[in-house]
Structure 1
């Protein structure tokens, strides 16, 4: 299935527009730029507290959290997408998570009072992480526990069933995988001869460092939402293989690292190379993921390479119940809090924890700056979503 670059880009733009038209929550997930436009222009943003300058996710919405396996297969719920990671203000992650939870609640037809309770629980969960409380204090909600249990039982065959036509080593060209251009194929052939790439792949799952890693198939991958239009490749590799022991297979994700939209903090230097920035942020925020990533280049562009593990799953919550919504808000904010807290010393954790937990309103048990920000953002994204749907409908009619 051959496609030139312009055809590919038009198809990707249509796919992105369709994804974002499905719901307000999908629009929030796919439109990081609107969040940071608000942050730059809104008077509310001027009232935000300045937390310690640490690595933040930069795009901390519900779909970017989930079970992640480390190099040895241990599974933890962590941040799973770090494209926008920068050294910045941790308050930005809290607001974006709150916005995502609020729009998910609205999509589940939950009343506004439940959203208020979710934000209150979110603040409590985050403050617990700053106070270094144990996970027993913040039990997993059922929706998270179900995904984690499913992750623990997954093996290569499950990943192959989802991504491939069969467990046999071939990428099925069609709606998701597209044939490579000749220069892309040559670049990937060369990349998988790189000793650094081989070393990373062999470092996972207790593999033998003497095994041969061989690229056996690759394709352009139509995947994600905000990343559509940038380089994205899937690569199938074989590992080892003898008469007595069959080869193992692995699916490798290669994703272009683009400049971050998120504003950066002052006083700490970040890597100038965007792939190195993403890996550094992942290492700080989501160690399970960071140790499985490599910053490299394809066709002169910075690219992050990582092996997809069967246990890596995103939280896809179609419907929230009232009780599950508040429990999920508390737990997921706790997860984000742990990612932030591990970068702070005891003094910073204590002072930032107090700032987050401080009640500043008689009407809601959460900081006024957080609540007002989420209300303002929810309104602007609802309006933006309706305008996006209008334009999408006009484009379809044309």
Structure 2
């Protein structure tokens, strides 16, 4: 029987928004002169020389990597945890994608300059990609903020450059080729921060990288084949929206539309619970949905009110996120030809919290949304947060966005050393723009400097940390052989 749920009740006023600059401790930046900010950045070199950022050596008390990863799964959906480990075991790069908590422990023990920004918290290369801006323009940006929190800028850049080192190893690149890519990534970040340091606050805020800008800036160096590949991916992404999501993820069931069943990747709510449990959960989700509406601007609330609930399913997403509670919510407007497909994703405490400090936001979904809005050039028009029931009955925090909205992720499978270097430059610029929106870009630019000291240091760190990631990946493989973890591959 179709479950009727009222998600259109008038929302109460939205809670007051916190000033994100207070979180970063940069409120006083405007009261410092430019000369004082430059002096502050240069002074930081004496306490944390740029060359010191190259250093990586595991601490004697470093936790067992497998034990730490297993501990992080205790709040996840138990039957999905083997898929999480199976995806991580695909390669050292895949392991790295799912091991943000482990790297957070390691980075917390490295030297930093003292400059803080809003961090992505998981800035590996696969968390950059394209999506639709609110103005319906394809932009390239960071697209994952599950771990976002204020902290040292070095942590994001180190995670980004090391991801390129691991990707280069997976592709069979030589050591020289990988180092060129790593240095190009760090150099692009350094140059971009220094460029943004000379721009006004509003110029930085409005800066964005569109698909056209990518082609104009790097197309001549990429070659015609790479340009055609990018153009095809953009064209394909332009068709990836709620209409396509509905077409691929639904089936006709008599007079109604239902989300398809593709366990364990997509499981409709009716298959997870009996009728009474299902009805209770759906009603709980309806209440959570009304709370979510309160976090949207008034015009988006009115738009959302034009859609009604149709069906819901649990969905497996990502690598590091597998096992966290993620739902797909199918809604219709005037009819089935007017769909909206939302993703409701669980937000837990950031893996950076123990080192960088707990978020000022009590709701972890709000933490994710606040960080995303601060770092992205343009965010999903339906981005918001809520809390509500999990499959275990506990009240959990969530954030909400469209499932697909022209989204595409970076693809490393067919990269050459030249195109991977271009991708590194693109990601480096994007990360710098995100950091420049929140931190003291003038002081940071002065610290980074005009020489290549930082670039070489980050490449050295990336090579050393990639070795560590390979050892940790091997430890997880051994844990499977020893029966310490249960693994499900190929899902």
Q: Same fold (TM over 0.5)?
A: yes
Q: Find 2:314's aligned residue among 213, 216, 220.
A: 220
Task: Decide whether the 8 Å contact of 1:234 with 1:252 is kept in 2.
Answer: yes
Deviation at 1:187, TM superposition (A): 1.3
Q: Who is 2:192 aligned against?
A: 129
Q: Who is 2:55 aligned against?
A: none
1:5-154 aligned at under 5 Å gives the runs 9-41=77-109, 45-46=110-111, 48-51=112-115, 53-130=116-193, 131-132=195-196, 138-139=217-218, 142=226, 146-154=232-240
Deviation at 1:286, TM superposition (A): 1.4
Q: Find 1:240's aligned residue among 305, 321, 334.
A: 334
Q: Distance in 2 between matches of 1:189 and 1:397?
A: 35
Q: Find 1:284's aligned residue among 340, 350, 374.
A: 374
Task: Decide whether the 8 Å contact of 1:58 with 1:82 is kept in 2.
Answer: yes
Deviation at 1:164, TM superposition (A): 4.1
Could you list the runs of 5+ residues in structure 2 that have no partner in the other structure?
Answer: 1-73, 200-206, 390-394
Deviation at 1:351, TM superposition (A): 3.1
Q: Distance in 2 between matches of 1:254 and 1:87?
A: 24
The alignment status of 1:184 with 2:281, answered yes or no, reads yes
Q: Find 1:173's aligned residue among 219, 241, 261.
A: 261
Q: Distance in 1 between matches of 2:232 and 2:113?
A: 35
Which deviates more from structure 2 when the two are superposed, residues 262-271 or residues 89-98? 262-271
Q: Distance in 1 between matches of 2:98 and 2:292?
A: 35
Could you list the runs of 5+ residues in structure 1 that have no partner in the other structure?
Answer: 1-5
The alignment status of 1:160 with 2:257, answered yes or no, reads no
Q: Who is 1:3 aligned against?
A: none
**1:104 aligned counterpart, secondary structure:** helix
Residues 33-89 of structure 1 deviation map (CA, whole Å, 9 limit, x = unaligned): 121121234xxx12x3333x2211000011111112123422211111100000111
Deviation at 1:197, TM superposition (A): 6.4
Give the alignment's TM-score, normalised by structure 2: 0.68
1:195-214 aligned at under 5 Å gives the runs 196=293, 203=300, 209=303, 212-214=306-308
Q: Who is 2:341 aligned against?
A: 251
CA pair 116-13 structure 1, distance change in 2 beyond 3 A = same
Q: Find 1:301's aligned residue among 382, 389, 396.
A: 396
Task: Decide whether the 8 Å contact of 1:138 with 1:330 is kept in 2.
Answer: no
Q: Distance in 2 between matches of 1:309 and 1:97?
A: 24
**1:233 aligned counterpart, secondary structure:** strand
Which deviates more from structure 2 when the two are superposed, residues 109-118 or residues 175-184? 175-184
Task: Decide whether the 8 Å contact of 1:87 with 1:268 is kept in 2.
Answer: no
**1:109 aligned counterpart, secondary structure:** coil
Deviation at 1:129, TM superposition (A): 2.3
**1:139 aligned counterpart, secondary structure:** helix
Q: Distance in 2 between matches of 1:288 and 1:34?
A: 30
Which deviates more from structure 2 when the two are superposed, residues 11-20 or residues 222-231? 222-231
Task: Decide whether the 8 Å contact of 1:213 with 1:240 is kept in 2.
Answer: yes
Q: Distance in 1 between matches of 2:240 and 2:181?
A: 31
Q: Find 1:353's aligned residue among 445, 450, 471.
A: 445
Task: Decide whether the 8 Å contact of 2:242 with 2:403 is kept in 1.
Answer: no
Bigger-Rg structure (1/2): 2
CA pair 106-351 structure 1, distance change in 2 beyond 3 A = same
CA pair 247-257 structure 1, distance change in 2 beyond 3 A = same
Residues 228-258 of structure 1 deviation map (CA, whole Å, 9 limit, x = unaligned): 23221111011234xxxx6511111011110
Q: Distance in 2 between matches of 1:397 and 1:297?
A: 30
Deviation at 1:13, TM superposition (A): 1.0
Q: Who is 2:474 aligned against?
A: 386
Q: Who is 1:343 aligned against?
A: 438
Which deviates more from structure 2 when the two are superposed, residues 103-112 or residues 65-74? 65-74
CA pair 163-394 structure 1, distance change in 2 beyond 3 A = farther
**1:384 aligned counterpart, secondary structure:** helix
Q: Distance in 1 between matches of 2:249 and 2:443?
A: 46
